Each structure stands twice: as C-alpha cells, then as structure tokens.
Amino acid sequence: MKIWEGYGSEHSNNLIMIGKFKEVKEAKEALQKIEKIKDQVQKENQSGSIIVGGITDRYSDEMLKLFKELEIHNLGPSDLEQFAFDISIEQKENELILTTDEIDVAAFFKILILEGAKVEIFSRHDYPEEKKSESV
C-alpha cells in the first residue's frame, strides 16, 4: 500500500492587504506600478520565460528594463510569480485594497512599503467584521 501525502489549497487564506497612502496620487502610482509588473509577468508566463510554480532565478531583459523605468530595486526573481496569482486590487481614494486567497504576498508588501504606504494585512477568517475600507 502506498500512502500519498500532498499539500493543496483547500484552505483559502481570504487575505486582505490594505496600503494607506498620504495622498491619492501615491496610491494611484503604486497601483500603476503593480499593474505594469502584472502585465509583464503575464507576457513572460505566456512565453514560458516565467513558469509559475517553477524556479525563477533570473530576470528577463524586458523585466529589468521595466524595473529601471519604475525605479523598483527590491523584488527578487522568485517574487515575480506572485503577480501571476489571482489577486484583486481596488483603489479607494488614498487606499489600495488587495484581496487574495494566497499567503505569499511579499512582492506586493514590498511595493506598498517602498511607495510610502502604511500597510495592514489580515485574514477575514479571523476578522470577518472588518470592513475593507475601514481597516487602516
């Protein structure tokens, strides 16, 4: 008899990350950076340059060019696959509200912090009464 052990995503994290900026403009700029990186990751995932779930240890020339343009110097190659996961991002005035079932959100955290946000992260499983826009 063979016993199979595996790990799955049966348990959703129902994670919320809220970045509160001093100005609406700052939230908009951070959102634009995230969207540009997501777009580039999607292109690279489709071309096979990035394999979600695989080992990514190098940047493409296009990604390096984008990071230079966006002045982002803190994301590692392994952070990039996080932009391929299912994550919802909404801007409400000076806040960015990210929701996902994933637990690995370090790339988004790095961008929000470096763009000047005050960040709060929590699971709605533990804090269901929290309203998304009133959490920070």
pLDDT digits (tens, 9 = 90+) for 43-84: 999 988 887 887 777 899 999 999 999 999 999 999 999 999
Asked if residue 6 belongs to a domain, the reply is no
Note the pLDDT of residue 130.
66
- Residue 2 inside a domain? The answer is no
* 2 pLDDT higher than 90: no
Percent pLDDT > 70 in the chain is 86
Identify whether 3 is part of a domain.
no
Q: How many domains does the chain have?
A: 1
**Tokens 């309203």 correspond to what residue?**
131
Residue 39 forms part of a structural domain: yes
pLDDT of residue 68: 97
Q: Which residue has the tokens 């129902």?
A: 14
Domain extent for 106: 15-134
Question: Could you tell me if residue 109 is inside a domain?
Answer: yes
For residue 62, tell me if it sits in a domain: yes
Q: Report if residue 66 sits inside a domain.
A: yes
pTM: 0.82
The per-residue pLDDT of the chain, averaged, comes to 87
pLDDT tens track for 41-53: 999 999 888 878 8
* Residue 52 confidence (pLDDT): 80
